[in-house]
Amino acid sequence: MDPTVVKATQQFAMKLRASLPIAAFWEASGRLEADEGAQLLLAQLQERQQALVQKQQDGGDITQDEIDALRRAQREAQDDPVIMAYVQTQQHALAFLPQVNREISQLLGFDFGALAGAASC
């Protein structure tokens, strides 16, 4: 690949990562990874969700107690400030990226995202 393109891409990536929505996401992601309590809540939630999905796929009946336990786990995760900060910053970052794509597309004169996401041969 052209070294000029590689260098420009690296510079763009560094600037994108330093942008407020992306930087906030990475910061919140780091806090989430480091928070053992939040990790435990997410693991418990995932475990309950997977158990219910598996039980449903196996044709088993899901009890009200199991549904209530899943809802409790969901509420606990939603009440955790570290988890919610991560979710919010992720949403902001995801909302920001289409704007970035539009800017790149405008500069290039074609839909960069559509071309970049297209299946290759």
The string of pLDDT tens digits covering residues 48-105 is 999 999 999 999 999 999 999 999 999 999 999 999 999 999 999 999 999 999 999 9
- Mean pLDDT, all residues of the chain: 94
Residue 18: burial class (beta carbons within 10 Å; 0-12, 13-18, 19+): exposed
Nearest alpha carbon to residue 83 among 9, 45, 46, 29? 29
pLDDT at 119 over 90: no
- Domain parsing of the chain, residue ranges: 27-105
Three-state DSSP state, 116: helix
The string of pLDDT tens digits covering residues 5-28 is 999 999 999 999 999 999 999 999
User: Is the model's pTM score more than 0.75?
Assistant: yes
Distance, CA of 37 to CA of 83 (rounded, Å): 10
